Copies of this chain bind each other. A is one copy, B any other.
Amino acid sequence: MNRLRTILLFFGIGIPSLLSAQDFYTQEQRDKWMAKAETNKPKLTEQEKKPVQLVKLEADDKAFQGWKATPAGSVDQLYQQAFKKQSGVVIDFGEHLTGYYTFTMKESANVLDGPLRFKMTFAEVPGELATPFDPYTGGLTRAWLQDEIITVMELPATITIPRRMAFRYLKIDLLAGSGNFDFKITDMSFKAVTAVTNVPVQLAANTDPMIKKVDAVGQATLKECMQTVYEDGPKRDRRLWIGDLYLESLANNYSFKDHELTKRCLYLIAGLSRTDGYLNANAFENPKPHAQAGAPFLFEYSLLFNAALKEYFIATKDSEFVLDLWPVAKRQMDNISKHLDDNGLFNVNAAQKDGWWIFVDWRDGLDKQASLQGIMIFTMKETLTLAKLLGKDKEVSQLNGLIDKMTKAAKTRLYDKKTGLFVSGASKQVSYASQAWMIMSGVASKAEAQKAMKAIAGYDNVVKPGTPYLYHYYIEALIKCGLTQEAKASVIDYWGGMVNKGADTFWEAYDPDNDKLSPYNFFPINSYCHAWSCTPVYFIRKHPEIFQGP
């Protein structure tokens, strides 16, 4: 399409505006999808939460990011004493919460004769409170950091901060106040919100104890991210992304089973697709649902939409809905052959030059060729499976040939028989990402897959996953090739590692060897409750037999 445009423009031939403006789906169709998205918008459940204790931040080399929060008294202690001397207090709500904070202030000595200025910092982890935000060095807007400056003009006052917060810890600093009086802070409460309404069935009693903990933290993560859309993170970016939607809906299919939210989100993504029918990678809900205009096309996410749709069908058998969106799934496949070389190998550079965003993982230096080759094959297979279930396989029969060709190309060009490892790019880079996707896609036979997964564990110069997002596919690949005990061990090692480091919810980025890893160059801006990290809930509940026993 872009090449065509270039050629036409080169010859001075304008592209008729009708052509470029033509809507692949029609406005009428979109309106219907958007109306259904609205119909399926959940009414959030609200729960009033109270703080559980005061804590003190202590530097500790052994603690996550070097900081731990230790008990420092009861909340009543805060309420009953004048506040000034308590400025800097840290309040612990005992769990990760998403919603709205309310507190009351009243005078304790004399009469307020001037306003009060506060900084209220809401944090998901202790290190976020212990690290000064300014001067800010992060790569995303500093405004995501949850410190609000508020002026209180009169007392008593009951104040609700209008911004929705995601946090466990709250630090209150009095920035300014007259010297002639003091006051008390009291009656703190938090209106916690989530779209979750169901309670998952309990795990078998003989489930591994650490697996039980991982499951609980995974559920908390998923619950916090399930709002009026599947958010990527309730602190940041509070946005629907296809990649997170896919993993969250997998976990939800096997736990809360609040399926309306999945339906809503898939409708939103479809309704907000580009005019050419390809999907925008994310969506915003307010003030009315809209895609991020001008954002790059995230190729692999558009493909994973199909996998999410297939899994939704398997979980619900809701063929009416899935048939409604089948044309969207079918359309995404039209991109597969756009940047293949003659042998059927995906050309990452060409795609990127075309403005496509290739993601795979937050990890500097990761070569993405093999991963994309795998993702493309995997999603073609998922699409075919869905097509068969819907009786639509003839509509996408061309995928069979593409799968064969691309599998052959991968086997020939991306597999190092000597080491038994899949490699990527000109440098023949070895990464967890490449192994995972070559296995997920079925390029690797079961034997090759097991060999690769065992070899990589002892391989020195390997690019490890930077996020639980990629770790998910790594675990899925282990299970797929029958390395179930390795899968269990990895879940315990990786997600259990977060649990051991005090995680209340699972983190956006986690490298066991680097607590301060941040995709944004400043760890406090990381999301510490992130959708794509919740998937042990899915593994554990889909394959309970793997996760039993100590």
Contact = CB atoms under 8 A, between A and B. Distances in A.
A136 interface: yes
B163 A143 contact: no
Most buried by B among A109, A111, A148: A111
A212 to B, nearest CB: 36
Given A141-B178, A148-B151, A156 B117 contact: no
Interface in A385-426: none
Contacts of A287: 154-156
The number of chain A residues touching the other chain, given as a range, is 35 or more
A121 to B, nearest CB: 13
Contact of A110 (B141, B148, B180, B294): B294
A180 to B, nearest CB: 8
Nearest to A153: B163
Interface string A136-154: 1000111110001101011
Nearest to A161: B151
- How many copies of the polypeptide does the oligomer hold? 2
A82 to B, nearest CB: 14
A463 interface: no
Contacts of A181: 294
Given A292-B111, A294-B110, A142 B176 contact: yes
B111 A290 contact: yes
Interface in A155-205: 155-156, 163-164, 175-181
Contacts of A180: 294-295
B237 A291 contact: no
Interface in A100-123: 109-117
A327 B114 CA distance: 32
Contacts of A292: 110-111, 113
Given A142-B176, A143-B177, A178-B141, A294 B109 contact: yes
Contacts of A291: 111
A163 B151 contact: yes
Most buried by B among A113, A140, A154, A293: A113
Contacts of A427: none
A246 B143 CA distance: 47
Interface string A426-465: 0000000000000000000000000000000000000000
A443 to B, nearest CB: 35
A354 B120 CA distance: 42
Contacts of A149: 148-149
Nearest to A157: B287
Contacts of A237: 113-114
A140 B114 contact: yes
A116 B163 CA distance: 12
Contacts of A295: 110-111, 113, 180
Given A113-B295, A114-B236, 12 more contacts: A109-B294, A110-B294, A110-B295, A111-B291, A114-B140, A115-B143, A117-B141, A141-B176, A141-B179, A151-B163, A153-B164, A156-B287
14 contacts: A110-B294, A111-B291, A111-B292, A111-B293, A114-B237, A141-B177, A143-B177, A148-B149, A148-B151, A149-B149, A154-B284, A155-B287, A156-B287, A180-B295
